[in-house]
Structure 1
Amino acid sequence: MITKFYQHILALAFAVKVINKNPNILPNVTLGFHIYDSYYDARVTYRNTLDLLFKMHRFVPNYKCDPQKNLIAIIGGLSSDTSFHMADSLSLYKIPQHSSGALESDIDHLLSFYRMVPNEAHQYMAITSLLHHFGWTWVGLFVTDDNGGENFLQTVEPLLYQHGICSAFTRRMEKVAHFDLGGEIFNMLNDYYVDVTNDKVNAFIIYGDSLTLSWLRFLLFIRDPENKEITSFRKVWIMTTQIDFILLSYQKSWDLEPFQGAISFTIQSKELLKFNEFLQIIKPYWNQADGFLKDFWEQAFDCTFPDLLMQDNETCTGEEKLECLPGHLFEMGMTGHSYSIHNAIFVVAHALHAIYSFRSKHRAGDKRFQLQDLQPWQLHYFLQGISFNNSAGQTMSFDEKREMGGGFDITNMITFPNKSFLQVKVGRVDPDALEGEAFIIHEDMIVWHRGFNEVIPLSLCNDHCHPGNQKKKKEGEKFCCYGCAPCSEGEISNQDDMNDCFRCSKDQYPNKNKTACIEKIITFLSYEEPLGISLASVALSLFLITALVLGTFIKYKDTPIVKANNRDLTYSLLVSFLFCFLSSLLFLGEPSTVSCLLRQPTFGITFSMAVSCVLAKTITVVVAFMATKPGSSIRKWVGKRLAYSVVIPCSLIQSTICTVWLMTSPPFPDLDMHSSTEEIIVQCNEGSVTMFYCVLGYMGLLAIASFIAAFAARKLPDSFNEAKFITFSMLLFCSVWLSFFPAYLSTSGKYMVAVEIFSILASSAGLLGCIFAPKCYIIILRPELNNREQLIRKKN
């Protein structure tokens, strides 16, 4: 006898007793009941079902007698197999059947079947949510070797797969312990022991009934009778609603330590205070009609009544108390299955009451309707519309699928050294709740197996792939078993076990460990940084030097050396240098629309003007010497007319190029997010690269022309021309700008800007120094050489 299940009988008796004492439900009608055991056997279930239908000592199908035993409904079937074996016969006679056990199968075709418990599909989703909540992706499955177990696997395994969970193994178990298996039992227990001791699998799902769990405990005990190994196993057992934790009589002394921390799904139930009072009055002789109580008392309290006294057993005094029994033998609180049985009795009673009220209102005369004349199939109409509040205040009604609805409680098993245990509610499953509240678990309330050291267990095929890595499939293994591969360059993963790494947004970049994205720094060549300060200081210094040179030339404008070099052309060249040095400052600071529009055209025009002035100087020197020849016709070109005819057209051409550039595809501020990994470069997009190189190319043509002209006039007398200085200055100028192109193209960001500024300053300073340094030397340090006689002296 399974003593724990005696509560189901007491719940049935209690509900019938309450109904029979309540005159408002079924006045003048007494409910009775018969109890049959299925013995977990299909043949016995079929036979007992027929015995309920045909109530003679001899089995005669389709023959009805004994009107006092009027079968009106059947309640029972903790397991799905038992329920459906009963339904095979009961559905033929349309007798209402109320199942008090969880069922996973579709019952739409069984029109006389009513489910008093939540649909088990909700439990399967809850199991999946539980595994997903704790990250258990590698689990073991123990299921009964029957139709219920197969239905469970066919439903649950695809569901687990969809949520990224794999079954490490599937072990089919016998529903009832078979001790006559002989040598097969040792092979079986070895297989089970290997599965249970798998280091990687720490979460086991058990589907079956209470005896299945007892059979599993037996196999583990046989493999390790002294509990030297099994008590050290760190496992989490997850049990479905059909399983109540029981220990049979021969297992009472066995240690419960292996199941410490187990998690169970139980049918939600309400506490009935009167039921607890009812249990207080239960004594060995409380009801002579209770044929179960004597066996229950002896087995639960391990004693014997005087008429059956054994030598080694204590005598039952009859004063033993049910509340003193440990949980695996009997529970004082109403379990979910007992609560379902209690509700099923009240559902039938209220349906009978509804029929009685309906018939009484619609029958004419004094002839009263007798419930004894009622046929079971007549209850269906009233059952489907039933709605009432039970004694716990819960509304009882069936939906369109003939299901009572409701949810599940999640409980955690805490074991104690005295072989007792406590079931603590740690969560709930409510299918009717709002999204996000259907599954609730309080993990801080869970007491895990002591071997986990109060840390949430892991049940994985392999270690997590930590951030910075992505999962890599292992050939020939389930998808839950995978390797880890580092993220590729430029990609990150910021969670454990990511299938693929991903790239940061354009304004971010991966950190060193490739676990997070860091905001890029906005950068440009600013006045505050050392490089910007240095370039700005050099530009301003050269500007001041040029201004001093210009001032010196203006001061000594009437001296021969100033007048001899075309005073106006010299002033124009120096002013061009001033603008060249100032134009470099447009390249510093954060680029704006105005600065981007101005800097390249300003640089191009001022430089072209400077080079045009140098070209004009060179041509003037050459023409001047040619004009000294007797009878020369080009003497009229010597002077300002020649200089203007060179400088103005050359400058206008460059101005025209820049104007076309600004009108067609002008430069604009832009963000370069790709050149640098860690920076966003604020730069000026040149708009038309072709126009930009046209500006540089035209300036280069002027420089080459100046260099050729100066090189041709380099052998003229030193005192009469500056061709050698111009030649050297243009050689320096061309060298700087030829070096500019590879340096400019090989850099990016602010360093590209710095290269251009350096080129502007270096080339302008080279021209300034080579052309004007010798003149300033004579004007300031050797004024005695600044006279007409020295200028017209011919070279020896």
Structure 2
Amino acid sequence: MRILTGGGLHIPNYRCKNPGHLMTVVGFASSTLSVLVAETFGMFGYPQISYGAIDPLLSDTQRFPYFYRTVPSAIHLQNVLHLVLKYFGWTWIGIIYSDLESNENAIQKVKAFIISGGGCIAFIKKLRSSTKYLNTECLNFFIKRVYFTNTAGEHIYFDKYGDAIGEYDLVNRISIQKKKLRSVHVGKLTSTDFFVNESAVVWPVYFNQSELSDRVQENDMIQCLKCHDEQWPNKNKDKCVQRPIAYLSYQELLGGCLASSAVILSVTSVYFLAIFILYKNTSVIKTTNRKLSMVLLLSLILTFCSCLVFIGVQGNIKCLIRQPIFGMSFTVSVSSLLAKTILVVLAFHATRPGSRLKRFIGQKFPCVLVGLSSFLQALICALWLGTGPPIPTQDFYSYPGYIIIDCEERFGFYAMLAFVGCLAMGCLVIAVLARNLPSAYNEAKYITFSMLVFFSVWVTFIPTYISTKGKYTTAVELFAILVSGAGLLLCIFFPKCYIIFCKPSKARVIYIISKNQRVSRIPISKRSQ
């Protein structure tokens, strides 16, 4: 402002003393400052010569008729980069630049230019630097026609946009010692011409340039394409290959162990069922409601077998049936335990004179309870399948390089589990209340322990299930099903089998409760049928 107005007061558009002998303005290296100065001094016809501003905006001769620069515009740099990248076939490009403000905008334009041309930016690093800033109509006329050769042998002149012609040296940086580089001039570039002395280029041993050149020469273009969702770059990052499909399979260790456990538990359940059929007339089986016990065993067999549906590639059918099969079979198991627990309590309280609970002791009550529970669960599953059924999904993002095949269960899965949890909670509460009944009849303590195992497993399951992804989500659910089912199987049926085989004398007697709650024992042969 002092140059334009003079004097101590800086008043725009006013002259406070006679004009000096300012001929032209030299500067700046910053594109932003050059734009501001060019707009201000251009109004008074002062030419401006910048030695560092490369913003293409300054090539607009309508807006900046008095602006010149001794460096080429960023447009020239983009054209030169295109020639270099095409020649060497480089698609993964790192950018290193000094921290001059004029470089910031230029680098953004170069980055966009590289990406639009099919290249990929590997990294951008900014280096610190320091710059010293240097500090009328007829002069502008002569500046337009400047042409000379500097001491480096370079021809200096301005084109019709006021830009210097872009000429660049291609320099090969060679590592000669640790952390030391030697610069070798191997070529010269302009926006229209390109020369490389290939015999002078020294490539690092870990960089195989010849393969890239062959590929580019064959394709005659730079290729850096984004792979499709079902594809992934190979190790060399020069080709898209099909992503492998990841799912819980029988061939892998995790899937094989879960499948083997399901088969073993199913066979064990069949073994217990066979024992109950062979020894169905013993007191240890009769007094614990053998029909409910057999229903419980059959439902556990189906529960364990349903685990096999979760393993393998999940298609539309598997996704549709796997959770409902598990939910229905497990509902029958837990509701059977609930019925057994209630019958234990009723059996002792019904012995009181005039008790109306005797009418509930029979075959109808457990059938009604198990049937009603199964019906409600079937209704939940029907609503689930009717409104938002499970569908197979492909996950491309959880595990890079793989396609995860799984089923999207949605809200119905949690509604199904919640209903089973309510039945189990009722079973646990009643079993705890019945824990002090005589041990000869009392199956409640085994039911209590089995329900504690059940809740320990499924309370742990929910946060683990939510936090895992892919095939491990399925593995977590299978583990919960197998462990909770094994807890029911062993806690309820192993003690009975132990009595049958290890204490056969105890298995051949029944217990009858007298009115004063004392327990008397008689042989089973004398029991009235």
Structure 1 counterpart of 2:229: 506
From 697, 700, 708, give the equivalent of 2:418: 697
Matches within 5 A, 1:199-598: 201=169, 452=197, 454=199, 504-509=227-232, 519-598=242-321
Alignment partner, residue 519 of structure 2: 794
Q: CA RMSD in A?
A: 4.1
Structure 1 segment 105-144 matched on structure 2, within 5 A: none
CA drift at 1:505: 3.3
- The TM-score, its normalising length taken from structure 1, stands at 0.40
Query: How far did 1:189 drift?
Result: 5.4
- 1:616-695 mapped onto 2 (5 Å cutoff): 616-686=339-409, 689-695=410-416
Correspondence 1:192 to 2:160: no
Q: Check 1:192–1:737 CA distance in 2 against 1; reply closer, same or farther (3 A cut).
A: same
Give 1:569's aligned amino acid: L
1:738 to 429, 437, 459: 459
Give the aligned partner of residue 729 of structure 1. Answer: 450
Distance 1:531 1:457 in 2: 51
> Are positions 1:713 and 2:434 aligned together?
yes
Amino acid at match of 2:440: S
User: Structure 2: 5+ residue runs without aligned partners?
Assistant: 1-77, 88-111, 115-143, 157-165, 172-183, 210-219, 521-529
Q: Which has the larger radius of gyration?
A: 1
* Alpha carbons of structure 1 residues 552 and 516: separation in structure 2 relative to 1, 3 Å: same
Give SS of 1:681's match.
strand
Q: Distance in 2 between matches of 1:638 and 1:506?
A: 62
SS in structure 2 at match of 1:670: strand
What is the deviation of 1:719? 0.6
SS at match of 1:720: coil
Structure 1 vs Structure 2: percent identity of aligned residues?
Answer: 40
Residue 520 of structure 1: how far off its partner (Å): 2.5
Deviation of the 1:630 alpha carbon: 2.0
Instruction: Write out the 4+ residue segments of structure 1 that deviate beyond 2 Å after TM superposition.
Output: 128-137, 170-174, 188-195, 232-238, 452-458, 495-498, 501-520, 787-795
1:562–1:202 distance in 2 versus 1, CA, 3 Å: closer
Cα deviation 1:694-747 (Å, max 9, x = unaligned)? 101001000000000111101101111200000110111111111110110011
Partners of 2:407 and 2:79 lie apart in 1 by 55
Q: 1:135 and 1:695, CA in 2 relative to 1: closer, same or farther beyond 3 A?
A: closer
Aligned amino acid, residue 301 of structure 2: L
TM-aligned CA deviation for residue 508 of structure 1: 3.6
Say if 1:608 and 1:699, in contact at 8 Å, map to a contact too.
yes
CA gap 1:134/1:777 in 2 versus in 1, 3 angstroms: closer
Unaligned runs of 5+ in 1: 1-127, 138-161, 165-169, 175-187, 204-231, 241-262, 264-442, 459-463, 467-494
Deviations 1:412-451 (A, max 9, x none): xxxxxxxxxxxxxxxxxxxxxxxxxxxxxxx9xxxx89xx
Contact residue 202 and residue 457 of structure 1 kept, 8 A: no
Q: CA separation of 1:760/1:453 partners in 2, compared to 1, >3 Å: closer, same or farther?
A: closer
Q: What secondary structure does 2:245 align onto?
A: strand
**Aligned match for 1:782, one of 486, 489, 503:** 503
Matched residues in 1 for 2:461 and 2:471: separation? Answer: 15
Q: Residue 682 of structure 1 contacts residue 749 of structure 1 at CA under 8 Å; is this kept in 2?
A: yes
- Seen in structure 2, the aligned counterparts of structure 1 residues 503 and 708 have a Cα distance that, compared at 3 Å, is farther
> What's the offset of the Cα at 1:789?
4.9
1:580 aligned partner, one-letter code: T
- Separation of aligned partners in 2, 1:234 and 1:664: 70
CA distance in 1, matches of 2:426, 2:380: 19
Answer yes or no: is the 8 Å Cα contact 1:566–1:640 preserved in 2.
no
| Matches of 1:619 and 1:750, distance apart in 2 | 39
Structure 1 distance, partners of 2:358, 2:393, is 54
Please tell me whether residue 758 in structure 1 is matched to residue 488 in structure 2. Answer: no
Query: Are the aligned partners of 2:334 and 2:423 in contact in 1 as well (CA < 8 Å)?
Result: yes
- Superposed displacement of residue 685, structure 1: 1.7
- Normalising by structure 2, we get a TM-score of 0.59
Match of 1:615 in 2: 338
For 1:234 and 1:661, locate their aligned partners in 2 and report how far apart those are by CA, in whole Å: 71
Q: Residue 604 of structure 1 corresponds to which residue in structure 2?
A: 327
Question: Kindly tell me: are residues 674 and 163 of structure 1, through their superposed partners in 2, closer, same or farther at Cα, counting changes over 3 Å?
Answer: closer
Aligned to 1:73: none
> Post-superposition shift, 1:558?
0.6
Letter in 2 for 1:674: Y
Q: Does the C-alpha gap of structure 1 residues 562 and 514 become closer, same or farther in structure 2, counting only changes over 3 Å? A: same
CA offsets 1:156-187 (integer angstroms, 9 cap, x no match): xxxxxx999xxxxx99647xxxxxxxxxxxxx
Say how many residue pairs are matched.
353
Conserved? CA contact 1:566–1:639, under 8 Å: no
